[in-house]
Amino acid sequence: MDPVFVGKCAQIASVLEVSGHPKPGNVHRTQNFSDMVFEDFLLSGIAIGKTMEKTAKKGYDLRKNPEKWENIGLGNLILEAVTETDRWVANNTNLGIVMLLTPICAAAGAIENFNDFKDIIHKMMMSTTPQDAVHLYQAINIADAGGMGEQEELDVSSNSSMKKLLDNDINMFSVLEMSSKRDRLSYELTNQMPVTFEIGFPLFDKIKSEYGINQATVQTFLTILSKVPDTLISRKYGEKKAKKVSRDAESILKKGGVLTDKGQELLEKFDQHLIKNGLNPGTTADFTASSIMVAYLNSYNDYKNKL
């Protein structure tokens, strides 16, 4: 795919995700947090565009040389996007989104057949290097986000961890695989992105064509939340609480979610309940963004035909 198109899709996915209303428990167009506001996420989504285009260009240039995919530098590109975001906003708004969108962009640049997308993402992730892992740790530290890189022996906050990654030849894929049992984003990145490709993307695509972008965004978010207990909630409040939030989301979907008046009413109450209790489904928001991006990438042929 054209790297310029891919970069724009990354920006579009980022700003559409945060604009979804009412996206329960998250910042959206009518709701801010005390430490971050709606406009912070818009700035973040725009700020990563150049890096995402650069990532797609690297994938495109090496599309016929998979033996050189380790040279793409996915970890460094994640670090670059997070560093650029940090220049524009004060808090971590998009580390998870950047971690998901970066390999998607690299693979999008390389694919010739959309059916190969998941497989190429997986091969590129497996081709990462220990230096990619170091750069990922640096990105996590800049974003001040614990969890994904924390291991007994390889704690992201430990000064000796990065040296161990290099000395023991532990690449970025392996680090994420270590975290995958307790972190859904890590699982996503080491298992061919099942939430993005099997739940989010097809649902967003379908609802967008029938109802519109906002409805598709919110319904995709709610559906993912109902099926996948949110890691950010479980990390803060435990797995039991995360599963309860998922059951609540499922009950709203049974009433139609954002697509019906009753579902909309319940959704707005759910949103305020989550906010009041400090329950922020942040990982679900990341998956929603990656799902939106894949849906727009899937429209590449339509885009080309309009040129």
Report pLDDT for 305.
78
Which tens digit of pLDDT belongs to each residue from 239-278? 999 999 999 999 999 999 999 999 999 999 999 999 999 9
What does the DSSP 8-state code read for residue 69?
G
Question: Residues in the chain with pLDDT < 50?
Answer: 148-149
Q: What is the spatial distance between Cα 245 and Cα 229, in angstroms, rounded to a whole number? A: 7
Give ∠ CA 50-56-60 in degrees, rounded to 5. Answer: 140
Give ∠ CA 98-104-107 in degrees, rounded to 5. Answer: 140
Report pLDDT for 152.
54
| Residue 170 backbone class (left: φ over 0; alpha: ψ -120 to 50; beta: rest) | beta
Report pLDDT for 86.
95
| Partners of 31 in the β-ladder | 28
Report pLDDT for 92.
86
Report pLDDT for 144.
79
Q: Which two tokens stand for residue 243?
A: 């599963």
Strand, helix or coil for residue 161: helix
Q: Of 128, 184, 140, 102, whose CA–CA distance to 154 is shortest? A: 140
Q: List C-alpha distances in Å: 261 to 225, 255, 256.
A: 20, 9, 8
User: What is the pTM (predicted TM-score) of this model?
Assistant: 0.95
Report pLDDT for 211.
97
Domain boundaries, the chain: 3-212+281-305
